[in-house]
Structure 1
């Protein structure tokens, strides 16, 4: 992986948040706090950049599990204002109007888009910006819901790989139990990011960095990392098939 000066990166991230909020004349930022590493790191960066008085955390569970406790821990540790909204009644009301029962992936997308609506409602009411929590690993592989958790005004972590976010989190003092927990999007009970992606974040990041940033040939990546070429091709396919999720809608030119 690339070698970063994480103290310098942290300074750049906080400056970025401060500049974007100031330039937009916003009063602060709102963040969806899930109890995971990405939202926790984003919240810690926002407080470092703006102060706790200008950061609002929204905890928006569908399932009642440990993630809620972890999200509360992040907000209370930072001393920020936070609200907890149970999205189950909202999501279930959507489903009741569909006329069919969505599969678990579609249900997860509805949950993510419901959270997006709530984030922007609070942002509009308070003249805040929505800070997204997507990292580069998820962005490049399309591991996010289009117009859901992929929707935000600014995404401070979007050019940092997941393994790099872990390092930033350690530097910021994010609670250890958040850093060490198994990554999950919380889209269904027992869901795990790495199981759903079909690859560990550490190997994924090593391949992505060489494939996307260094533009190395796939066979060379496989040889250097001592992995089957199929692993590299698998990641390359994730990037290619999710390209539409990384751009605004396009149409033909005339």
Structure 2
């Protein structure tokens, strides 16, 4: 697999999708992590650095190295990076909600960032570009209407390991590639510790299910049964996050799935 070709394919695909929207700018939440780093590099290659607006949105417990990596990224690719501190609005919601767990606090932070990004998109005549990879989408490892909310998702077809390989091919900022994946929701938080599995194991199992079409018993022969069952259960139980809300049937008459092609082909 040629990962430079994948970078180029994603660049062309994004450029075509972006141009159809009529937007002037691409608005991206920059975390200092590998996903937003790859997304911003592709966006700059596709539409030019001057049309990419990056926003680093720290909470008061966010690590300094996340900001440093975000800054290195913007310097490497030349896009604008603004800082919007979400501590005050997030704390206001946390106070209202009361007795929040770390997970609930993380969801509040993610939704505060979503509000800011969509408002910045409106301010800059742009659209929000997503940074969620395929592994996260399948696991539901993201906040619904938070960090998973976007108008175009560039890396949604890439497993986490492929994000790294494409980033290596694109000569990504070294410190971003080397550090442990983290949402930086609280001091010391890492993705793999929170998930309970390494990304290597998760991606291997997901790949064998999706691409190799292995059945459950075949997976048991390669991996421990508990890991297989937990990952499958998580993919299934979080499936609702991958779709727009289910529309209930009224019984009036059969209606087709909403499809913009119907409207594009009215004159044919």
Is the partner of 2:130 in helix, strand or coil? Answer: coil
- TM-score, normalising length from structure 2? 0.89
Measured on the aligned residues, the alpha-carbon RMSD in Å equals 1.2
CA distance in 2, matches of 1:201, 1:147: 24
Return the match for 2:23 from 18, 26, 48: 26
CA distance in 2, matches of 1:73, 1:6: 23
8 A contact 1:60–1:86 mirrored in 2: yes
Is the partner of 1:184 in helix, strand or coil? Answer: coil
For residue 49 of structure 1, report the CA deviation from its aligned partner. Answer: 0.8
Return the match for 2:227 from 226, 231, 248: 231
- Name stretches of at least 5 consecutive residues in structure 1 with no aligned partner: none
- TM-score, normalising length from structure 1? 0.94
- Name stretches of at least 5 consecutive residues in structure 2 with no aligned partner: 251-268
CA distance in 2, matches of 1:55, 1:248: 27
Return the match for 2:121 from 117, 120, 123: 123
Q: 1:166 to 1:36 in 2, by over 3 A?
A: same
After TM superposition, the structure 1 = structure 2 runs for residues 151-166 of structure 1, keeping only pairs within 5 Å, are 151-166=149-164
Partner of 1:112: 110
Structure 1 segments of 4+ aligned residues over 6 angstroms from their partners: none
Is the partner of 1:131 in helix, strand or coil? Answer: strand
For residue 215 of structure 1, report the CA deviation from its aligned partner. Answer: 2.8
Partner of 1:103: 101
